[in-house]
Amino acid sequence: MVRTLGVAVVGFGWMGRVHTQAYARVPHHFPGLSLRPELVAVADEVPGRAEEAAAQYGFAAAHRGWREVAADPRVQAVSIAAPNFLHREIGLAMTEAGKHIWIEKPVGLTAEDARAVSDAVTKAGVQGTVGFNYRGAPAVAAARELIASGEIGTVTHVRIRLFSDYAAHPEGALTWRYERERGGSGVLGDLASHGVDLARFLLGEIEALTADTAIFLPRRARPTGATAGHTRATGGELGPVENEDYVNCLLRFASGARGVLEACRVSVGEQNNYGFEVHGTKGAVFWDFRRMGELGVSRGTSYQDQPVSTVYVGPGDGEYAAFQPGSANSMGYDDLKVIEAHHFLRSIAENTPYGATLADAVHSAAALDAMSRSAEQGAWVPLA
């Protein structure tokens, strides 16, 4: 029997839009799901934005403030896509109101924030899904299985990269993303959080790390109006960039493997260059988000001069079959958010966590805090 679940979206920038579209698509890709999301409410503080969202997508109610959403008994589940500094407050309020939450990473500004929301989810007995979308790529699922099977031997080292140019333009507006008080960390929370999640998803727990960070564009112009995404601003008052543009980090895993994680938001010439290279004693596996449906795989008994083959993922890998009938048919970023939405709704339907949870967010945030401490102290930092 299929039942309706009232959902709301708080924060209707680009990510709120992606969540909304994912809710609309879930029944088409996962028809066996016992829940059907109904768009009950949308909230955004920018004048007119929530009303536009309601008109375009069919939300029953539009609000300027998120507290109206928390008080609405029709809303049973909430997507939290507001700025980072609001994650803790909104997350706590929604869980205390008995609502399930799908919240974007990094779940606040610190590990303490993420832990507070995680504890609230547990206390309230609701489900919580976190926006670590890259682990949902079928190729990443296939890589994880390949690594776990021992086909590349014992993992020795991994390199994870997340390079982008979304903040590379010197006229990029000085939005909340560049402020410590509202954005928290910079590229740590935005991109390195995904890198930590991929590292743990593929290789297990991180035991210790050491990191270095840098700000390469120290001043930006303040915007004169509402912003969404990564807009530009000219002529506004210049202000300081308070969080990092770049991080590199050495990792030690509990398994004994070693790793390098590097992320940058001001990499000119790089657009969404995200991926990993995992090396083992008998082979290796490579993934590039820009070629999302492919893996580079080296396996065999040659060791030296062993070739790398391109493997196209297919219906047997992850959730691929919900989108395409055969190997080498392309999937895109928005499909990953549909997979997340499915995990969220399935978690609610079965009262069992699926996909990335608040516990994963806590682990990621703890690693980010450790990176910040390491960069300040110039030392290795253990992760308890």
Using an 8 Å Cβ cutoff, are 192 and 162 in contact?
yes
Written as tens digits, the pLDDT of the chain (384 aa) is 899 999 999 999 999 999 999 999 999 999 999 999 999 999 999 999 999 999 999 999 999 999 999 999 999 999 999 999 999 999 999 999 999 999 999 999 999 999 999 999 999 999 999 999 999 999 999 999 999 999 999 999 999 999 999 999 999 999 888 999 888 899 999 999 999 999 999 999 999 999 999 999 999 998 875 555 567 776 678 999 999 999 999 999 999 999 999 999 999 999 999 999 999 999 999 999 999 999 999 999 999 999 999 999 999 999 999 999 999 999 999 999 999 999 999 999 999 999 999 999 999 999 999 999 999 999 999 997
132 closest CA partner among 105, 170, 163, 167: 105
- 128-150 b/e (C-beta count within 10 Å ≥ 16 → b): bbbbbbbbbbbbbbbbbebbeee
DSSP β-ladder status, 258-264 and 284-288:
unpaired
* Nearest alpha carbon to residue 104 among 342, 341, 350: 341
CA–CA dist 222, 245 (Å, integer): 17
Nearest CA to 148 among 280, 295, 298, 315? Answer: 280
292 Cβ contact partners less than 8 Å away, ≥ 6 residues apart: 137, 139, 330, 331, 332
Asked if residues 211 and 375 have their Cβ atoms less than 8 Å apart, the reply is yes
Which phi and psi angles does 167 have, rounded to 5°?
Answer: -115, 15
